[in-house]
Amino acid sequence: MLSYQHAYHAGNLADVHKHALLSVMIDYLTRKDKPLSYLETHAGRGLYFLDGEESAKTGEAAQGILRATLRNWFDEDHPYARALAKTRAAHGAQSYPGSPMIAASLLRDMDSMQLCELHPQEYEALFPLMKRHARLHQHDGLEMAISMTPPTPRRGLMMIDPAWEVKTDYTQIPKLLEKLSTRWNVGVVALWYPILENRAQAGMVARLMGAFPQALSHEVRFPPARTGHGMIGSGMFVINPPWGLDGEAKRLTDLFKSL
């Protein structure tokens, strides 16, 4: 039973962290005049509206991207700011791009894209938006991660951004990443995870760091969105991190500390 809907959380501080790092990675990979594959296991609906009912209900975007914008966290040349500007130009000032749209706005014609989304409602919204840019799969993303790899071209990035509703994800995902890195040793694989007050993620992160000592592991902390809300930070674990990602990670560490 899928209950998570990203519309309530789009543009929150975790999205700012994840989408800033994702856009910097894609920007770096697209500097080379060689095609690349972009794969995503949990795509969401691709486009959100920050004046929508869901966003107003949680207020998370106001604490996230709207506050980051007021504080000038991203200058206009930053790839995240470029993706935001492109989305707003096409869909209005209150629109916010999900990760597939961020990727689509930074990728080139020669690049290829595959997106998985299991939720029927989210897939229905994603399909018309992304069908010109990507091959879409309404299928379990973790199963597809294996069957989509190694992609053609082999050079590329996979974003894994589960809803973490299934408790076994914390034990299954490290096994998946180990399998993936054997099948696709050149792939950049980025996993987003929440930092929870109850430390549910801690064992998984320790296992990943043991298995991939060269990976980039970056965490930021922030105040919970509401009293009693368990998420107190955001983490990205990146296997084969592109050059320059650590610089952006350090910059984000300082910015999040200033909150």
Ligand X SMILES: C[S@@+](CC[C@H](N)C(=O)[O-])C[C@H]1O[C@@H](n2cnc3c(N)ncnc32)[C@H](O)[C@@H]1O
Active site residues: 161
Instruction: Examine residue 116 and tell whether it contacts ligand X (CB under 6 A).
Output: yes
Q: Are 177 and 211 in contact (CB under 8 A)?
A: yes
3-state per-residue secondary structure call for 26-65: HHHHCCCCCCCEEEECCCCCCEEECCCHHHHHHCHHHHCH
**150 prior amide bond cis, ω within 30:** yes
The contacts of residue 32 (CB under 8 Å, 6+ apart) are: none
Among 30, 55, 87, 99, binds ligand X (CB under 6 A): 99
Among 68, 103, 111, 119, binds ligand X (CB under 6 A): 119
Contact track, ligand X, 31-70, x by CB under 6 A: -----------xxx--------------------------
Instruction: Examine residue 79 and tell whether it contacts ligand X (CB under 6 A).
Output: no
- Cβ 221 to ligand X, closest distance in Å? 19
- Cβ 152 to ligand X, closest distance in Å? 22
Instruction: Examine residue 6 and tell whether it contacts ligand X (CB under 6 A).
Output: yes
Instruction: Examine residue 205 and tell whether it contacts ligand X (CB under 6 A).
Output: no
User: Where are the alpha helices (H) located in the chain, listed in sequence order?
Assistant: 13-29, 53-58, 60-63, 65-70, 79-91, 99-106, 120-130, 141-147, 169-183, 202-211, 245-257
- Cβ 223 to ligand X, closest distance in Å? 20
Instruction: Examine residue 140 and tell whether it contacts ligand X (CB under 6 A).
Output: yes
Closer to ligand X by CB, 111 or 161: give it.
161
Helix, coil or strand: residue 61 = helix
Closer to ligand X by CB, 92 or 185: give it.
92
Give the count of residues interacting with ligand X (CB under 6 A): 18
Phi then psi dihedrals of residue 160, to 5 deg: -115, 115
Q: Which amino acid is at 250?
A: K
| Chain contacts with ligand X (rule: CB under 6 A) | 2, 4, 6, 42-44, 98-99, 116-119, 122, 140-142, 161, 163
